């Protein structure tokens, strides 16, 4: 067999399933047969033409699969092994990686700074919405899936869980902290779960969809607020006796959520931003205490690499958190256009879709 099915970006508004050659395996690569992948919000931006990739590129960056073939230099794995790889596959050779920021691993400094340099699948190289994917720098990026875990249980590790947890980690949540998490989409839900694991004693989850708030409770939220029903800032200040939260996590990427996340912070609190913004942000004077509030605003991009994946898989294997419940729908790869339609329009209570090539 030399050909495979792959979902490729054709033009804005068009992602189609095509036949492509199965790629040859270079010395540092691994060919992984995809058993389950999924669609990310970023892929919807690609579909709409809001984030540009080369026409003909295979989309997708969340792989669960089986090693089909290992490159000659790749040590420590066996063909036939179940693995995941991070959405971001750093080479660990760059200045950014050696500075501890593997997600910004660009490898190339000749074109200046470009964020997301480590994100290759479905961005700069063929991605995971296909029967096979070539994992670059495989020895640094393949993580074996512990026995007994389903594809659905580990499907969030490559991107959504890594990003959501990074938001909680960057917020520097301490045991006993009060944390507000703005937006309970898949990443916000993982930030809620991450805040719980970090030891927050009260987690306030905010969204406008009651089903999402219900899942937030299952993942550790103590209080849920529907912004369609209450003034979220007033409510949070009431809940904290006017003190404000120790940390707020923004997981949507809008001025309004960013601003609310800032307004509910205590002096000295941290706003941890995960949203991808598409216009300039304004920082209101009062919310920012005119610059005198000792506040921190930090951003995070999905950390990758096998050590990050190993830790996330450990969290899943230990039963500390069950993210399988974020997988609400399942499709065959042949139905991926339909899956994009459902996911892109957020119909039928969808959180994440499992895509099965075989
Ligand atoms: Zn993503």
* Angle CA 112–249–223, to nearest 5: 165
Please choose, from the candidates 4, 83, 79, 80, the residue with its C-alpha nearest in 3D space to the C-alpha of residue 36.
83
What are the percentages of helix, strand and coil residues in the chain, rounded to 5?
30, 25, 45
CA 185 to ligand 1 centroid distance, Å: 12
**Maximum separation of any 2 CA atoms in the chain, in Å:** 65
Ligand 1 centroid from CA 234, angstroms: 32
87 CA to centre of ligand 1 in angstroms: 7
Q: How many angstroms separate the alpha carbon of residue 60 from the centre of ligand 1?
A: 8
Instruction: Kindly give the confidence (pLDDT) of every residue in the chain, 358 residues in length, as a single tens digit, with 9 standing for 90 and above.
Output: 799 999 999 999 999 999 999 999 999 999 999 999 999 999 999 999 999 999 999 999 999 999 999 999 999 999 999 999 999 999 988 888 888 888 888 745 554 556 677 899 999 999 999 999 999 999 999 999 999 999 999 999 999 999 999 999 999 999 999 999 999 999 999 999 999 999 999 999 999 999 999 999 999 999 999 999 999 999 999 999 999 999 999 999 999 999 999 999 999 999 999 998 989 999 999 989 889 999 999 999 999 999 999 999 999 999 999 999 999 999 999 999 999 999 999 999 999 999 999 9
3-class DSSP state for residue 298? strand
Complete DSSP assignment for 142-196: EEEPPTT--HHHHTTIIIIIHHHHHHHHHTT--TT-EEEEE--SHHHHHHHHHHH
Sign of CA dihedral 72, 65, 128, 314: negative
Q: 120 is written with which tokens?
A: 């290759």
Return the bridge partners of 37, or none: 355
- Cα of 38 vs centre of ligand 1, distance in Å, is 9
User: What structural domains and CATH numbers belong to the chain?
Assistant: 3-155+323-356 (3.90.180.10), 161-299 (3.40.50.720)
Q: How many CA atoms are closer than 13 Å to the CA of 126, on its beta-carbon side?
A: 24
How far does the centroid of ligand 1 lie from the alpha carbon of residue 43, in Å?
7
Distance from residue 160's CA to the centre of ligand 1 (Å):
7
Rounded-to-integer distance, Cα 242 and Cα 235, Å = 10
H or E stretch covering 216: helix 210-218
């Amino acid at each position: 067999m030399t050909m495979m099915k792959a979902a490729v970006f054709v033009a804005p508004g068009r992602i189609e399933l095509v036949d492509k050659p199965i790629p040859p395996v270079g010395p540092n690569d691994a060919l992984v047969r995809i058993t389950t992948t999924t669609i990310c919000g970023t892929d919807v931006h690609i579909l709409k033409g809001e984030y540009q990739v080369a026409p003909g590129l295979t989309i997708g960056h969340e792989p669960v699969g089986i090693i089909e073939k290992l490159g000659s230099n790749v040590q420590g794995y066996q063909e036939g092994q179940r693995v995941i790889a991070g959405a971001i596959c750093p080479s660990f050779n760059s200045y950014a990686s050696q500075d501890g920021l593997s997600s910004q691993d660009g490898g190339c400094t000749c074109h200046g700074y470009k964020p997301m340099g480590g994100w290759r699948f479905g961005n700069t190289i063929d991605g995971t919405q296909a029967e096979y994917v070539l994992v670059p720098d495989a020895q640094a990026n393949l993580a074996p899936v512990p026995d007994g875990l389903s594809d659905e249980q580990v499907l969030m590790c490559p991107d959504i869980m890594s990003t959501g947890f990074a938001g909680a980690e960057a917020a520097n949540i301490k045991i006993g902290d009060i944390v507000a998490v703005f937006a309970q989409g898949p990443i916000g839900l993982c930030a809620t779960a991450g805040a719980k694991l970090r030891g927050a004693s009260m987690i306030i989850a905010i969204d406008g969809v009651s089903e999402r708030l219900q899942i937030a409770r299952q993942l550790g939220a103590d209080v849920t607020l529907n912004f369609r029903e209450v003034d979220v800032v007033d409510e949070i200040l009431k809940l904290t006796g006017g003190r404000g939260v120790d940390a707020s996590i923004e997981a949507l990427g809008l001025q309004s959520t960013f601003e609310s996340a800032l307004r509910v912070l205590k002096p000295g609190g941290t706003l941890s931003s995960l949203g991808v913004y598409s216009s300039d942000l304004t920082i209101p004077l009062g919310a920012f205490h005119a610059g005198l509030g000792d506040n921190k605003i930090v951003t995070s991009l999905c950390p990758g690499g096998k050590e990050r994946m190993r830790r996330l898989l450990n969290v899943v294997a230990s039963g500390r958190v069950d993210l399988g419940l974020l997988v609400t729908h399942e499709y065959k790869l042949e139905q991926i256009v339909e899956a994009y339609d459902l996911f892109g329009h957020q119909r039928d209570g969808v959180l994440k879709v499992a895509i099965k090539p075989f």
